[in-house]
Structure 1
């Protein structure tokens, strides 16, 4: 799958939500959420990729809570109603539905992947390594991953479409203070939505391992990352890749060397770790989805009220 990295569009990227000194609490909350998200995005801390994504989902939820409060202000509603034909306003409303779709699809993908892991865990608990069923169950898990990757590709394409359509923000504070604040906040939210969702989807879309790998294929698959998977050096891998290596080790024919107990236990531990991460991602996506819906409904209600 081709990687998708949101472009750095300096012509519309806003460094911060420039707010008046005497701001409403909602605008201060938005500014704090934006700054926190940008700090996490550029941080080189010890957080894993999955941890950073979970933090970003939580930060996005806080950001959209602030936006909901901002949209509830009479001054905001008046400003948007008076400028509802503005191209920037219309584009941001159109984008809101795409974020709802991407968030919903990402949540469904995580749920399906989690169910697949539970089924594989159950099978491994009942299986012995040299039973045919082990290979069949691993194959089924990998096949389901390939199917999910197609949906992930569609979601990435939607994000790329939005990213390419982002328009310049030329409105100055002197033109309309409240409208400027709202548009800047919504633009920042769009940029951070794209960044967070693309990171999540790329995390979930690592290449699916081929069945019946050899020790050499496991090494060669990950050598570009500077690790030797068969020797346990996995520092640069995310949790999905870690699971793939553990499952690949189950399928390597090491007959006569061991009964596979340690390899089964290792695979179980990796699956449990991934399941915990997916649980956190699912919870974060569920909460964010509700706020994305509310933001879109608020925008549509304000604009529809302006035409009545």
Structure 2
């Protein structure tokens, strides 16, 4: 990580009553007086605000929109990881053992659900390839198995969303909030990072669930956290919804032109799934790094 210096006030190194000395060719650092937030704090605040703006634009829920949110989430956690490695951050959090333990539990849940998600997406990609072969052969029985697999994945997404519903349900220690401005800002960005992680993760799971579940049971009536209500969770991902059960049923009775159109949509869907898989894996790795750095605040002395 590239070091970042705070703004400082520099004092001259010569005294008016002393003999003059040759000019010094380099800047001499002196006592530093902080004049603003640490640049990393300012950076992550910007990234978090941009992610909140992203979540407010959920009326056009496409795979590109979802991938953009996951990329922005990765940036937030990369910045948070950098902040957690700062000596002053480690010193502040080392005295907040109970709160850090709760954060570690939350991040463990995030890491777990993203790990399970990666496994589910791998299975989905395999089902996609098998389904495309079945469509070419107009094998309705094999297509039916594909649709059954999609419903299973939709249910898995609901379970994953349930697993993170309790994240962040505890207060920030008062001792951290009243100690100084720097600690207050630190607590604020950590809490907001958790909040936007919930927003993106719930958008990911709800998008896939709503797209692949039957219309009657879409999203299975799951009650999401209040922080996710800004997202229209009942809306599906556009490209995922385009390959509906209706266009896949009864292919044996369809002409070749219809089958070709279905195949093109399936191939496009496969590309979208691969894109979501790729960026979600990067976000997953960043979450792991964040948790490791958070754990280090308790173990390093």
**Could you state the TM-score of these two structures normalised by the residue count of structure 2?**
0.74
Deviation at 1:273, TM superposition (A): 1.7
Deviation at 1:240, TM superposition (A): 2.3
The equivalent of 1:239 in structure 2 is 239
The equivalent of 2:17 in structure 1 is none
Instruction: State whether structure 2 residue 83 is matched by structure 1 residue 70.
Output: yes
Q: 1:21 to 1:141 in 2, by over 3 A?
A: farther
Instruction: State whether structure 2 residue 109 is matched by structure 1 residue 98.
Output: yes
Contact 1:76–1:178 at 8 Å: present in 2 too? Answer: no
Q: Which residue of the other structure, out of 143, 154, 157, is the alignment partner of 2:159? A: 154
Deviation at 1:82, TM superposition (A): 2.1
Instruction: State whether structure 2 residue 283 is matched by structure 1 residue 288.
Output: yes
Q: Which residue of the other structure, out of 175, 180, 189, is the alignment partner of 2:179? A: 175
Work out the number of aligned pairs and report it: 252
Deviation at 1:113, TM superposition (A): 1.2
- The equivalences for 1:1-308 within 5 A come to 22-43=36-57, 47-85=60-98, 88-125=99-136, 127=137, 129=138, 134-162=139-167, 165-167=169-171, 174-206=178-210, 208=212, 238-245=238-245, 248-252=246-250, 255=253, 259-306=254-301
Deviation at 1:209, TM superposition (A): 7.0
- Structure 1 runs (4+) greater than 3 angstroms displaced: 166-174, 207-210, 252-255
Contact 1:92–1:186 at 8 Å: present in 2 too? Answer: no
CA distance in 2, matches of 1:152, 1:305: 37
Secondary structure of the equivalent of 1:162? coil
Deviation at 1:101, TM superposition (A): 0.9
Unmatched segments (≥5 aa) in structure 1:
1-19, 211-217, 223-234
CA distance in 1, matches of 2:43, 2:148: 44
Task: Using the TM superposition, name which of 236-245 and 136-145 deviates more.
Answer: 236-245
Unmatched segments (≥5 aa) in structure 2:
1-33, 219-234
